[in-house]
Structure 1
């Protein structure tokens, strides 16, 4: 049900393209996955989202537990029916909130106690609880509950986080009983190479349907992120999808694909869109700028999204300057399409044997020209 087929390899890098099969359809890899934290990609309908080329969408266990509650979602028939999305879905376990809400939680061997930011009540999130919530939500892929250490952190603190992550993974595996849902483990280890390698071997030993690299893009230098991906990618199972969590920039995705990574997610495209920013050819354009006022050309003539095929830069500039919600929706749609197109282009380049030539410039300090 969750087999992963590799269709082509890059002869000069570790890049590969393939297909991850799920109960709700295939996910062609490499692939960017939009984030719909609360069972919605902000400001975008599921019909609009499908037109971006998105195949797999993420939601968040912790936030859905707070509102509306997993029981409500289960009564609706699961997350797919609840939000009206019939494609593959993945739920993060809430492990990232252990990091991002550090001031609102307390960590011990049993799990994490959060203080609900809405009403101050305590939430006892154990690996078993996080797994049960995800089984109730019913996404195709559930993530193991892990501890994402902050940056910077001492080696002893990161070592403790790894130990808990591995112990919690075993408890997640024991608690997970849905055969129509895959459980992915998560590699931690901060910026310490030996801890990353130990974690990769420990998580891979569970022989799960997929594996993720977590704990990146949490404040560490970009070079450290690249080193982590280069070191850990080859240690992960060859025949399972590899997921780099929280990454959505072109250069970082290209470096990761060159090192054998298959899946990515990030809130960046919609966050930028809500702030009036468009991703065009690897650049960020602020559509509030006056230079777009009389520019009646498409935002990106090579893009097939709704914003680029139906509207001009001047119109989107007008919407953003007028604080019209449509402008934020159009930019979010464009930005998601932009990242999906980029990962699709890498897959095509791998199939055609030109990935190292076409995408090596994206791994340099200066982004390459927009040729895809």
Structure 2
């Protein structure tokens, strides 16, 4: 089935909106945070755990999946859902960000990009057409166009060239798409230039994608610039289609960006920061490596209902973290993923209730960033 977006409610005092995205593998309640499963798993957590947490959709990465397991194996096993045993929605990034973050290991041309595999040092080739063909082999419920991502602080001419090529490649991606059940999002580029963002949004909206992503942020700009251009770009996108802010995901970022009208998010923060002993709560971050937790008998968050907070103390998590025991990473990752899901539930509920703006104001002013 093609992607369908239901616009359910809007906060009366901001651009925050409550929606529902219907995909071939299920319905996604928005705003939604998508857990990152780059290689087919959310770091340290199995699918039973992320299902009990309430994760609705996971994100895979085309670049990494192209290198391993590769197109042939995915085709033989019947796609990514079957390979990893996940029957809910999957979104795949096109791999553009990973490819373009390797400046000395790739060559970009108008036809596509050639890059060196970090696995065996062989050279691989992706074009807009082959990228879409591979994402269809993956079986992604939501695919992304192959775009050109440059640092937001790049010279203006570099930003223009990258944006123009992104538009040309977006058209080729759309023409290459063959299956209705694999929806396709365009990616708005333009760095931190309002005129480029406007031009990019208008060009992609004219191409009539299933949804739209805001790309090219969290790559060098200030927090103030990121917030401004998220707000600026979101206003340029259709209200009747989902909006996705790529790779941005502190709790404060989520609240601010929902307020701007964004529906979908992804980021490695919940599991990546867990490895460093950082836990997230509705009171702010808790850094488990700090010595004063060594004798603390309270949980990460006494008000949290996750099994980690019901059973384990800060003292224990401090011990695991200081010893770099993987169990500590896993337990904090579970808690953080639980927290992110509860945060998004709270956001959805307050939008429907018409109280999101007050919630956002309280959260941003009282919760440590």
TM-score (norm: length of structure 2)? 0.96
Q: Which residue of 2 aligns with 1:368?
A: 366
Deviates more, 1:110-119 or 1:282-291: 282-291
* Distance across 2 between alignment mates of 1:92 and 1:276: 28
* Distance across 1 between alignment mates of 2:81 and 2:312: 31
* Distance across 2 between alignment mates of 1:246 and 1:110: 26
Q: Which residue of 2 aligns with 1:64?
A: 65
Shift of 1:149: 1.0
Q: Is the 8 A contact 2:248 2:265 kept in 1?
A: yes
Q: Which residue of 1 aligns with 2:221?
A: 220
Q: Which residue of 2 aligns with 1:301?
A: 302
SS state at 2:104 partner: helix
Q: Which residue of 2 aligns with 1:292?
A: 293
Q: Is the 8 A contact 2:129 2:172 kept in 1?
A: yes
* Distance across 2 between alignment mates of 1:57 and 1:114: 26
Matches for 1:246-257 after TM superposition, within 5 Å: 246-257=247-258
Shift of 1:102: 2.2
Post-superposition CA distance 1:168-222 (Å, at most 9, x none): 0011011111121101110000001100010011111111111100011011101
* Distance across 2 between alignment mates of 1:80 and 1:369: 37
Q: Is the 8 A contact 2:279 2:332 kept in 1?
A: yes
Q: Is the 8 A contact 1:250 1:282 kept in 2?
A: no
SS state at 1:80 partner: helix
Q: Is the 8 A contact 1:151 1:219 kept in 2?
A: yes
Shift of 1:282: 5.5
Q: Is the 8 A contact 1:98 1:148 kept in 2?
A: no
Q: Which residue of 2 aligns with 1:120?
A: 121
* Distance across 2 between alignment mates of 1:37 and 1:147: 20
* Distance across 2 between alignment mates of 1:310 and 1:140: 37
- Listed as ranges, the gaps of 5+ residues in structure 1 are none
Q: Which residue of 1 aligns with 2:341?
A: 340
* Distance across 2 between alignment mates of 1:95 and 1:218: 13
* Distance across 2 between alignment mates of 1:136 and 1:317: 43
Q: Which residue of 1 aligns with 2:356?
A: 355
2:148 pairs with 1:147: yes
SS state at 1:152 partner: coil
* Distance across 1 between alignment mates of 2:359 and 2:318: 32
Shift of 1:269: 1.0
Q: Which residue of 1 aligns with 2:108?
A: 107
Deviates more, 1:338-347 or 1:135-144: 338-347
Q: Which residue of 2 aligns with 1:324?
A: 325
Q: Alignment length, in residue pairs?
A: 367
- Listed as ranges, the gaps of 5+ residues in structure 2 are none
Q: Is the 8 A contact 1:307 1:330 kept in 2?
A: yes
Shift of 1:369: 4.1
User: Structure 1 stretches (4+) deviating beyond 3 angstroms?
Assistant: none
* Distance across 2 between alignment mates of 1:114 and 1:309: 47
* Distance across 2 between alignment mates of 1:218 and 1:302: 35
Aligned-residue Cα RMSD (Å) equals 1.4
* Distance across 2 between alignment mates of 1:138 and 1:262: 22
SS state at 1:285 partner: strand
Q: Is the 8 A contact 2:246 2:266 kept in 1?
A: yes
Q: Is the 8 A contact 2:63 2:99 kept in 1?
A: no
SS state at 1:18 partner: strand
* Distance across 1 between alignment mates of 2:102 and 2:335: 30
TM-score (norm: length of structure 1)? 0.95
Matches for 1:16-31 after TM superposition, within 5 Å: 16-31=17-32
* Distance across 2 between alignment mates of 1:201 and 1:274: 41
Post-superposition CA distance 1:44-103 (Å, at most 9, x none): 101111122210100000101111112212322211121111111101001111332222
